[in-house]
Amino acid sequence: MPMNRVRMAMAAAALALLFIACYPGGQSGGRAPEFQGITNWINSEPLTVAGLEGKVVLVDFWTYTCVNCIRTMPYLKEWHAKYADKGLVIIGVHSPEFEFEKATENVTAAAQDFGLAYPIAQDNNFATWRAYNNQFWPAKYLVDSQGKIRYTHFGEGAYNETENRIRELLEAGGADLSGIPAGFAPAPEYDIRAASGNSSERITRELYGGYQRNTGLGGRYVAQSEYYKKVNQTLVYQDPGEHENQSFYLHGAWVNGTESLRHARQTPGYDDYIALRFVATSVNAVIKPHGIGPFEVQVTLDGRPLRPEEAGSDVVVTENRSFFRVEEGRLYEVVALPGFGGHEL
């Protein structure tokens, strides 16, 4: 259950690139690798990089539960609408983070929900991802009409820069863009506290419920030590009451599956819960029903229901409670605060 999904922190992360003279796949100046291992195409017949020569191609690696990817979609849709008939082809390479994201019907439904009309390639086995030496969601590779990568961008942001590079390559190929104004996207606001050297004050990292990621590099997302005794165990946890940023705390019965954390019992009320001390502006959760119908997740912030101005788009706020309804596996926006700060969820 990732919270506050920050795959690529725009202003807080430094990206080190190793440039090699032979230009391996995915680097600027080299030829764009061919699409490989694609299990299905959505919105299009199968395409190839070679067959797209003469076009300007924007290869966008994404997955539909990634909040950072979702935030880039308005710009991708705008570029598709403005430049598709001027020679731009956007290819969304969907490389799934979770097993349920591999289902074609789920990706198709997500593309429809987000209004994505450009071609989408399902890269379920990460063959194209590896061919590009890619490491990030989202990641953009801009390919010129001769099939060479001319520009890359990882993470959110740089929308004006990316569009200007698209326009340069289209105009170099003879496209007349005089009647199409370039867009203007204001730079995102950034709170310097997000990059604090104090882990209790800096932005909460991306957190996972599954055992595999908890025991992997950089893991230990669940605070209680008994979680780590073995995988696929059902335990009744006791919330210690004191919470630290960068981890979450379990109370009640939970199963620590390989990829996910699963609630393990029914209770008459909201007796079991996940507690999180977070520092951020927003909190998002990826949740999938498991063998049952839709269910509700009750949410409290600092011991009370969310107020309307604090609630994410998926949360319903009533006089006495705040909650969201889980009907399908996807990203749910839980908290959307007016300002950066620390709270108990």
What does the domain layout of the chain look like in residue ranges? 40-172, 195-344
Please say if the pLDDT value at position 7 is more than 80. no
Q: How confident is the model at residue 9 (pLDDT cuts 50, 70, 90)?
A: very low
Instruction: Give the β-pairing of 300-301 and 149-154.
Output: unpaired
Q: Say what the pLDDT of residue 103 is.
A: 96
∠ CA 146-32-87, rounded to 5°: 45
What average pLDDT does the structure give for the chain? 90
Please say if the pLDDT value at position 238 is more than 80. yes
- Decide: 329 and 286 in contact? Cβ < 8 Å: yes
Q: Say what the pLDDT of residue 190 is.
A: 81
Please say if the pLDDT value at position 329 is more than 50. yes
* Cα-based distances in Å from 264 to 229, 250, 261, 282, 300: 17, 12, 9, 27, 21
Q: How confident is the model at residue 207 (pLDDT cuts 50, 70, 90)?
A: very high
Please say if the pLDDT value at position 5 is more than 70. no
* Cα-based distances in Å from 248 to 41, 42, 116, 274: 38, 37, 34, 7
Bond before 138 cis per omega within 30 degrees: yes
Q: Maximum CA pair distance of the chain?
A: 67
Handedness of CA 130, 131, 133, 136 (dihedral sign): negative
Please say if the pLDDT value at position 185 is more than 90. no
Q: How confident is the model at residue 268 (pLDDT cuts 50, 70, 90)?
A: confident
Q: Are 40-172 and 195-344 the same fold in CATH?
A: no
* Domain spanning 40-172, CATH class: alpha beta
87: left (phi over 0), alpha (psi -120 to 50) or beta: left
Q: Which CB contacts under 8 angstroms, 24+ apart, belong to 298-305? A: 298/270, 298/322, 298/323, 299/323, 299/324, 299/334, 299/335, 299/345, 300/345, 301/335, 301/343, 301/344, 301/345, 302/343, 302/344, 303/344
**Mean pLDDT of the 316-327 span:** 96
Please say if the pLDDT value at position 34 is more than 90. yes
Please say if the pLDDT value at position 22 is more than 80. no
Measure the CA–CA gap between 169 and 176, rounded to whole angstroms: 11
Measure the CA–CA gap between 151 and 141, rounded to whole angstroms: 6
% pLDDT > 90, the chain? 85
Q: Say what the pLDDT of residue 291 is.
A: 79
Q: 72-114: per-residue pLDDT in tens?
A: 999 999 999 999 999 999 999 999 999 999 999 999 999 999 9
Task: Find the range with the poorest average confidence among 146-160, 182-196, 298-312.
Answer: 182-196
The SS3 of residue 212 is helix
Q: Say what the pLDDT of residue 14 is.
A: 23
* Helix ranges restricted to H, the chain: 67-83, 104-114, 127-131, 159-172, 211-214
Structure tokens belonging to residue 336: 């959307």
Q: Say what the pLDDT of residue 25 is.
A: 53
Structure tokens belonging to residue 54: 């003469």
The matching CATH number, chosen from 1.10.1740, 2.60.120, 2.40.128, 2.40.50, for 195-344 is 2.60.120
**Mean pLDDT of the 269-289 span:** 95
CA nearest neighbour of 72 among 81, 57, 62, 87? 62
Task: Find the range with the poorest average confidence among 268-282, 288-302, 314-328.
Answer: 288-302
Q: Give φ, ψ of 236 to 5 degrees.
A: -100, 115
Structure tokens belonging to residue 325: 């309804």
What residues contact 67, with CB distance under 8 A and at least 6 apart?
5, 282, 284, 331, 333
Q: 114-165: per-residue pLDDT in tens?
A: 999 999 999 999 999 999 999 999 999 999 999 999 999 999 999 999 999 9
- Decide: 95 and 109 in contact? Cβ < 8 Å: no
Q: How confident is the model at residue 27 (pLDDT cuts 50, 70, 90)?
A: low
Please say if the pLDDT value at position 2 is more than 60. no
The amino acid that residue 138 corresponds to is P
Q: Say what the pLDDT of residue 242 is.
A: 95
